[in-house]
Structure 1
Amino acid sequence: MRLPFLFAAFCVVASCAPPAQVSKSQPQAEVGVGFGTGSFGLATGGGGGSSLARDFMDLTFAMESGRGLDVFSRFEGPVTVALTGSVPPTAPRDLGALIGRLRAEAGIDISPTNGAATITVEFAERSALRRLAPMAACFVVPNVSTLAEYRRARGSDAVDWAQVTRRTRAAIFIPSDTSPQEIRDCLHEELAQALGPLNDLYRLPDSVFNDDNFHSVLTSFDMTILRATYSPRLASGMTRAEVAARLPSLLGGTGMMGSQTPGAWVQAIETALGRKGAVNARLQSAERALTIARSEGWQDGRLAFSHFAVARLSAGSDPARALTEFDRAAAIYSRLPGGDIHLAHIDMQLAAMALAGGLSNEAMRLADRAIPVVQSHENAALLATLMLIKAEAMERLGDPNAAAALRLDSQGWARYGFGPDSVVKARMRDIAAVADRAANG
């Protein structure tokens, strides 16, 4: 039994989650954001039943805006990466681990350097970056090495990815005043896009090249795409037809073809899970996304994500429906490769609802089920949230010593995932308030 629950649980825990350039979108308000870096084996097929070859083509020959690209481009020869600006203390370690994975799993000749580099990662204050890219958490630009150089060239063909036929230089811009996890996530997505695909596809369930933000570090699917990008059988300047002709020998069988994603669905889902607008208006957008997903006949992550959005936004007015929509999303994600992390996000929401409803045993069960998955997917913010929910449940079940020990264990993950101690303490207070409402309700 999971009812009754309080909508406050959604509000509190949701707050925990966090043009020429290619950008990583701001973390959506309703999706937990994605600690160290792990190592995963190479994928052997495409994601979600779609054609791996088609995924490669759609990722490579278009940009996030939908603008098509005429030719294939990449770096030719060794790639070096340098960190500049106000470099956060965790960045060199995370970059080193990422470069190690790119060498081992994608076969890319890439290494760090302290001098002039092929790819420069510059750290600057978030406010300065938002003036250039208001909707981006971080972004990558071709043919420049510094923020000052980009400001001078902004709006010109020199920094237009569509004009690039061979990549020679690129700069990644990341806020220095954010959590270590967001910095790590930006390094993964933006370095991958500096090296390879410039597009994101919502249909991909097991990839960082998807603006749903469930995956925060490069997956085995992503490494497969990057390995193909740097195959000796491809070269900068090739046309779409030339690349397509070589893909079968690079990627193997094609499987089922995935459908295109209408712009109306993308707009609806991004409005629904953005940070602006009243809840009712955003719920209407989520309903539109779900209607489109059903009319398209999708049975993949886009349909699941539509159910997820409706669940998140209907809790205040119809918590019973929220539970139904979470269950529908979970049923789809359970069938998809990489869907275990999506299920863990849903378990976190349900655990918070259980805690708010006074069902401490259920909250602990859901947290225990999700925690191993979240650890394997390197999401410190989500892991800390689950640990804090479990600690509050322990407290309510009369085990304050175990609760205190678990809160202490969560601190390292929380600092990496959320940032300063002040933010961590605020998160702890928020989750405690959820349980307090159940006790006082």
Structure 2
Amino acid sequence: MSLRRLLPPALLAIAACAPVPRDLPDRREAAPSQLPAMKVFAAPRVSRPARSNRDIAQDFLDLTFQLESGRTLPVFTRFEGPVSLRVTGAIPTSLEQDLTRLLGRIRTEARIDIARVPANRPANITIQTISRRDLQRTVPEAACFVVPRVGSWDEFRANRRNGVTDWTTLETRERLSIFIPGDVPPQELRDCLHEELAQALGPLNDLYRLTDSVFNDDNFHTVLTGFDMLVLRATYAPELRSGMTRDQVAARLPAILSRLNPAGDRRRSADRGATNRAWIDEIERALGPRTSQQARRDAAKRAVAIARASGWRDNRLAFSLFALGRLSLGVEPELALGSFLQAAGIYGADPATQVHEAHIAMQLAAFALSAGEAEQALAIVDANTDAVMAAENAALLATLLLVKAEALELLGRDTEAQRLRLEGLGWARYGFGSDAEVLQREAEISAISPRARKETAS
């Protein structure tokens, strides 16, 4: 079973930096109907993988022959033949649009023969929307997930404990279901569509070492990347078929990747080393909702220590520091800032982790704004906006733009600030969903500005 973690990095802890003023300025008391129209992303900006085919082959095998739990999958499985897909349940407008766009990308980039059919027809893949409450009541650790051999939520609930939905017993893929909450922000719906449909078609595992993939529980990438599309295209290469062993697939992968990604043959391998289970366990404790903030913070500190002891200087150490920084906001601000700065240094040294660096940048821009360093906040936002646009992260983009608008106000550039605020609110409607959530996020960002604190004090 593929589970998305419940801690999206884009959802900042800015509120921990300062209290929200009780009496907000008039411009923040606008009725929801006065919010600008929702903004959506246009054509995707997809980059080809920039790693060696040797490394990609190892990634493919580790993604394909293991579950996130660590259990081994005995054979390779995929759909054999054209794939049909249907959507049942309440269908939000944004889901229709994002699914159409995603299916087009899968057909064009991964070359998979997949087509949507009416909801009342049988299909290989069923996407069913249910309420977030019902989903998490049944599977508390999941934001959305995919399971084999069932065609509905009722069928899943009836068979979830009897082995029917056990991926390790599968020999080929014929029928499965994706369950996603229909009452969440458009961006969260889209993110679920991308990861779960990718896992329905291809790999079932996630790897923390990956920097360019949605198949990573750090959730920095939330729409399918060039690497992901290459993996899906290789999954449906004619040289492979369901039932093959790991060794059989490994023997065919070099030729497949040479054909699909010839540039990868010319790149040097960079062995990242295995990710030990002890570090994963501590990261999961740090990100998990079932323990106290202090226990989560302690787990993040242990994750940092394990990463350093393992000799890692890559995204895994940076992610440990990022988690520690987030969990230290409002409690140990100096530790939070130091952790963010160290993580930013690691992410900034790798061109493949620009969007990761942008998540850190958002926190650093908030610190700068809170300190009244408006010019510094502007510089941080401007240096990271393009990477966020390329990653199609509307929640993070909205946050950066709203921070920038506050910084512009501090500099007396009110006209620019108002224009940028409206743009940020348009992205926030896609990223955060309801008008109330959008206005609350705007209020939280306003609260960290020295101007807001001064107005509250007066």
Partner of 1:131: 137
Distance 1:51 1:83 in 2: 36
Where does residue 96 of structure 1 map in the other structure?
Answer: 100
Map residues 27-426 of structure 1 onto 2, 5 A cutoff.
Answer: 27-28=7-8, 35-36=40-41, 38-43=44-49, 45-46=51-52, 51-114=55-118, 115-252=121-258, 253=265, 255-426=269-440
How far does residue 185 in structure 1 lie from its aligned partner after superposition? Answer: 0.2
TM-score (norm 1): 0.90
CA contact (8 A) 1:139 1:173 kept: yes
Displacement, 1:193? Answer: 0.2
Instruction: Give secondary structure in 2 for the equivalent of 1:145.
Output: coil
Q: Say which SS state the counterpart of residue 211 (structure 2) adopts.
A: coil
Letter in 2 for 1:60: T
CA distance in 1, matches of 2:323, 2:362: 15
1:29–1:206 distance in 2 versus 1, CA, 3 Å = closer
Letter in 2 for 1:235: R
The TM-score with structure 2 as length reference comes to 0.87
Gaps of 5+ in 2: 14-39, 259-264
In the alignment, the residues of structure 2 paired with residue 154 and residue 102 of structure 1 have an alpha-carbon distance, to the nearest angstrom, of: 29
CA distance in 1, matches of 2:219, 2:200: 18
- The one-letter amino acid paired with 2:218 is D
Contact preservation (8 Å) 2:220, 2:355? yes
Q: Is the 8 A contact 2:344 2:361 kept in 1?
A: no
C-alpha contact 1:42 1:223 (8 A) present in aligned 2: no
- In structure 2, C-alpha distance between the alignment counterparts of 1:94 and 1:127, rounded to whole Å: 23
Cα drift, residue 312 of structure 1: 2.5
Residues 250 and 334 (structure 1), Cα distance of their counterparts in 2 relative to 1, 3 Å cut: farther
Deviation at 1:120, TM superposition (A): 0.9
Cα deviation, residue 29, structure 1: 6.5
Most deviating of 94-103 and 275-284: 275-284
Q: CA deviation at 1:430?
A: 0.9
1:174 aligned counterpart, secondary structure = strand
Q: CA deviation at 1:41?
A: 4.0
CA contact (8 A) 1:32 1:381 kept: no
Partner of 1:17: none
Take 1:154 and 1:283, find their aligned partners in 2: how far apart are those partners?
33
Q: By how many angstroms is 1:423 displaced?
A: 0.7
SS at structure 2 position matched to 1:150: helix
3-state SS, counterpart of residue 183 of structure 2 = coil
- Per-residue CA deviations over 1:27-86 (Å, capped at 9, x if unaligned) read 3477559x5361414325359xx8211111110000011111000000011112211101
Using the aligned pairs only, state the percent identity: 50
CA distance in 2, matches of 1:170, 1:401: 52
Instruction: Say if 2:304 and 2:320, in contact at 8 Å, map to a contact too.
Output: yes
CA shift, 1:378, in A, is: 0.3
Conserved in 2, the CA contact under 8 Å of 1:234 and 1:243?
yes
Q: Which letter does structure 2 place at the counterpart of 1:290?
A: V
Q: Shift of residue 315 of structure 1?
A: 4.3
Letter in 1 for 2:80: E
The change in CA–CA distance for 1:316 and 1:411 in structure 2 (over 3 A counts) is: closer
1:247 CA drift (Å): 1.1
SS at match of 1:120: strand
Offset of residue 24 of structure 1:
1.7
State whether residues 24 and 139 of structure 1, in contact with CA within 8 Å, keep that contact through their aligned partners in structure 2. Answer: yes
Query: Cα distance, 1:317 vs. partner?
Result: 4.9
Whether the 8 Å CA contact 2:9–2:218 is kept in 1: the answer is no
Offset at residue 135 of structure 1 (A): 0.8
**Partner amino acid for 2:380?**
L
The alignment partner of 1:51 has SS state of: helix
- The alignment yields a C-alpha RMSD, in angstroms, of 2.1
Deviation, structure 1 residue 280 = 3.2
Closer/same/farther in 2, CA of residues 159 and 315 from structure 1, 3 Å limit: closer
**Aligned residue in 2 for 1:18:** none
* Paired residues of 1:357 and 1:438 also in contact (CA < 8 A): no
| SS at structure 2 position matched to 1:173 | strand
Letter in 2 for 1:74: R
Equivalent AA in structure 1 for residue 176 of structure 2: A
State the SS of the aligned residue for 1:137. Answer: coil
Please, which runs of 5 or more residues in structure 1 have no aligned partner? 1-20
Partner-residue secondary structure (3-state), 1:83: strand
Distance 2:367 2:453 in 1: 10
Local SS of the residue matching 2:87: strand
Q: CA deviation at 1:170?
A: 1.0
Query: Does the CA contact (< 8 Å) of 2:325 and 2:337 recur in 1?
Result: yes
Give, in whole Å, the separation in 1 of the partners of 2:60 and 2:184. 32
TM superposition shift of 1:259:
2.0
Q: Tell me the amino acid that sits aligned with residue 223 of structure 2.
A: V
1:5 alignment partner in structure 2: none
- Contact 1:39/1:101, CA 8 A, preserved across alignment: no
Distance apart, 1:134 and its partner CA: 0.6
Displacement of 1:275: 3.6
CA offset digits 1:84-141 (Å, max 9, x no partner) = 1011111111011111111111111112222322111000111111122111100001
Does structure 2 retain, via aligned residues, the 8 Å contact 1:83–1:121?
A: yes
